[in-house]
Amino acid sequence: MMNETLEFKLSQLPDSPGVYQMKSHGELIYVGKAVNLKNRVRQYFHQSAAHPPKVQAMVDRIDDFEIILCDTELEALILECNLIKRNRPFYNILLKDDKQFYPYIRVDVNADYPTVTFARRVEKDGARYFGPYMSATIVRGVLDTLHKVFPLRTCKQELHFGGAPSRKRPCLRWQMGLCLAPCQGGVMPGAYRPMVDQVVSFLSGREDQLLEKLKAQMLEASARMEFERAAALRDRIRAVEDLLQKQKALSVEGEDRDVLAVAPDGADALVQALFLRQGKIVGSERFALDGGSADLSESLQMFVLQYYDGAPFIPKEILLSAPVEDREVLEELLSEKKGGRVYIHVPQRGEKRRLVEMAEKNALEEIRKRDEQFIRQRQRTLGACEDLARFLGLPAAPRRIEGYDISNTQGTLSVASEVVMIDGMPAKQEYRHYRIKTVVGPNDFASMAEVIHRRFSRGEKERLEALAEGRTPTGFGDLPDLVLIDGGPEQLKYALDAIHQVPMERYPNMFGLAKRFEEIYLPDREEPIRLDHHSEALRLIQRLRDEAHRFAITHHKKLRGKQAVRSRLESIPGVGPARRRSLLTHFRTLDEIAAASVEQLLEAPGMTRPAAEAVYRAFRS
């Protein structure tokens, strides 16, 4: 039943173009445009109208609407696009992967040792920007090739000019011959600059000039019997030629055009875009459309409208896999944005049709891969939880599984880890570390009991507090359905004794996993269970056990390293807490402090010469 306000507004609708905004309880849920607002809006509320399920669900929620009159259909189209992008209404087809900024390649030409990097926007910083490119994948591919061809630096390390090396040794890229190590004074700016000029030349489209220059340098090096240099230049030439070859995959009349194909992907839709520049395919991109599967033609129209609204470049021709309702208006809008004529076609035959079919084939292949990946992912996560529940005799698949492990060095710095999986996926925000407080010496059994008691004492308390306040328990209060103890029956027994000392409404199921034979130990069963080594359930709990072990070991090593540094520095006279912090902040590692000279030690804030000399002697005694 429509309310009186809605009926009155419907009776007052004008016969003119404009935009309508559907609302539910004051929330904007849909934006549309119409050549005739009266006919279009009233159509939603005709009882005889057979709406698709999504539209019917929207109509059932509408309790109000607003209209904005426009002079032309083009104005209505522009306004509709702006309102959708700004408000992102629930029932509109939305471009998920819409990017606000398109990628560029940035060359910092003003620096003594310029770098070539990825950038999302053009800044007024004196650097040279090349682009915009259609996708980040294209940019990263070009950068990878450039860094193989030209040994330019990629680090942000502070440079020392005039041949003065920094205190750090050159990185792995220098050892691989991919960098000239200006951080070590290995190359002066005058020798570095020609490579930067060659990169700029290449990115400016003068590839032939670059290839001719590299070939001449290779022949010259060979004539001088500098065969290693000639071989390096040969490899650079091949890398450039490979990159150019990738861009010559297809040629159609040497025009700039985009090819767009749409395919249903469950409740959504997937748009595959191919980008041709001067007849060459220079890249491709896939875009997901929320709720776009019901009407593929409408989905394609909304994609064109939203994507090219902020696109850095609009080609002369756009080829589509399906016709769109407002083709002429879209052409007018895009022509106005481009400042030149833009054509939209749905080719039926010839080379252009083959391009569209290529895009369609790629879209369907991507959907097939995603479906297979979803099935595999479900088998590894929820499917594995269901299998585990069946093997362990649980009434239902566990939602939250926690794994525990102990790490120490002969009983010192003993720590425990708690790692969590929710629906078979790691929930790293729920991971916890514990410092063992009550156990002295290398007693993993007692340490595990302490951790289990502490975790569930606090967890049950927070759970009850949350329920009393009407909240859903989170953090410690979100208790697990299943607990994995790293170890055999003894470790499991200690953990069970500890948890049963905590008054709880419901105790979680618990089991142990012994690493030697991957045997599962249950509380009420003497004989262990051995799962098939190809079982996803076994792989799931192995991942959980290994993650608990890794998390515990990592934290233990960190504590051990801190203690080693602290104890080593604490024994040096004249170096108190403030100077220890200053040294560690300045040099980062104990090895760097040990390798530093007295003068380098004096660079740390607060260091005096007697203190620096004491540190220097302490590490060389």
Residue 347's CATH number: 3.30.420
Mean pLDDT across the chain, nearest whole number?
Answer: 82
CB 545 within 8 A of CB 513: yes
Residue 268 and residue 242 in one domain:
no
The last residue of one of the domains, among 558, 583, 610, is 558
Q: Is 383 part of a structural domain of the chain?
A: no
Residue 542 and residue 609 in one domain:
no
Q: Is 483 part of a structural domain of the chain?
A: yes
Residue 531 and residue 579 in one domain:
no
Residue 74 and residue 110 in one domain:
no
Q: What is the pLDDT of residues 239-270, one digit of tens each?
A: 667 665 544 444 445 678 899 999 888 778 88
pLDDT of residue 251: 43
pLDDT of residue 482: 94
- C-alpha–C-alpha distance, residues 284 and 272, integer Å: 7
Q: Angle formed by the axes of helices 73-87 and 296-307, to 10°?
A: 80
Residue 276 and residue 364 in one domain:
yes
- Long-range CB pairs of 286-289 (<8 Å, 24+ gap) are 286/97, 286/363, 286/366, 287/95, 287/96, 287/97, 287/98, 288/95, 288/96, 288/97, 289/93, 289/94, 289/95, 289/96, 289/262
Give CA separation, 72 vs 17, 338, 339, 419, 602, in Å.
6, 20, 20, 60, 74
pLDDT of residue 167: 46
The last residue of one of the domains, among 318, 343, 377, is 377
Q: Angle formed by the axes of helices 189-203 and 207-223, to 10°?
A: 140
Residue 401 and residue 549 in one domain:
yes
The last residue of one of the domains, among 201, 220, 246, is 246
* DSSP single-letter state for residue 51: -
Q: Is 438 part of a structural domain of the chain?
A: yes
Range ranked top by mean pLDDT from 41-50, 225-234, 487-496? 487-496
- CATH number (domain holding residue 69): 3.40.1440.10
pLDDT of residue 97: 54
Q: Is 535 part of a structural domain of the chain?
A: yes
Confidence band, pLDDT 50/70/90 cuts, at residue 397: very high
Q: Is 123 part of a structural domain of the chain?
A: yes
Q: What is the pLDDT of residues 5-20, one digit of tens each?
A: 787 788 888 888 888 9
Q: Integer distance in angstroms from the first to the last C-alpha of the chain?
A: 91
Query: For the whole prediction, is pTM greater than 0.85?
Result: no
- C-alpha–C-alpha distance, residues 386 and 398, integer Å: 8
Confidence band, pLDDT 50/70/90 cuts, at residue 410: low
Q: Find the mean pLDDT for residues 582-610.
A: 84
Q: Dmax of the chain from CA atoms?
A: 96
CB 486 within 8 A of CB 513: yes
Residue 56 and residue 180 in one domain:
no
Q: Is the pLDDT reported for residue 159 higher than 70?
A: no
Q: Is 24 part of a structural domain of the chain?
A: yes
Number of domains in the chain: 5
Q: Which of 90, 86, 88, 36 is closest to 62 using CA atoms?
A: 90
Residue 369 and residue 418 in one domain:
no
Q: Which of 199, 214, 186, 45 is closest to 117 using CA atoms?
A: 199
Confidence band, pLDDT 50/70/90 cuts, at residue 612: confident
- CATH number (domain holding residue 599): 1.10.150.20
Confidence band, pLDDT 50/70/90 cuts, at residue 168: low
The number of C-alpha atoms within 13 Å of 423 and in the hemisphere containing its C-beta is 2
pLDDT of residue 466: 92
Range of the domain at 613: 571-618
Strands 482-486 and 400-409 turn out to be parallel
Residue 550 and residue 414 in one domain:
yes
Q: What is the pLDDT of residues 422-451, one digit of tens each?
A: 999 999 999 999 988 888 777 888 989 999
Residue 333 and residue 396 in one domain:
no
pLDDT of residue 437: 86
Q: Is 97 part of a structural domain of the chain?
A: no
Q: Which of 220-229, 449-458, 490-499 has the lowest mean pLDDT?
A: 220-229
- C-alpha–C-alpha distance, residues 174 and 330, integer Å: 52
Q: Is 342 part of a structural domain of the chain?
A: yes
Confidence band, pLDDT 50/70/90 cuts, at residue 121: confident
Residue 401 and residue 543 in one domain:
yes
Confidence band, pLDDT 50/70/90 cuts, at residue 477: very high
Residue 154 and residue 302 in one domain:
no
Q: Is the pLDDT reported for residue 411 higher than 70?
A: no
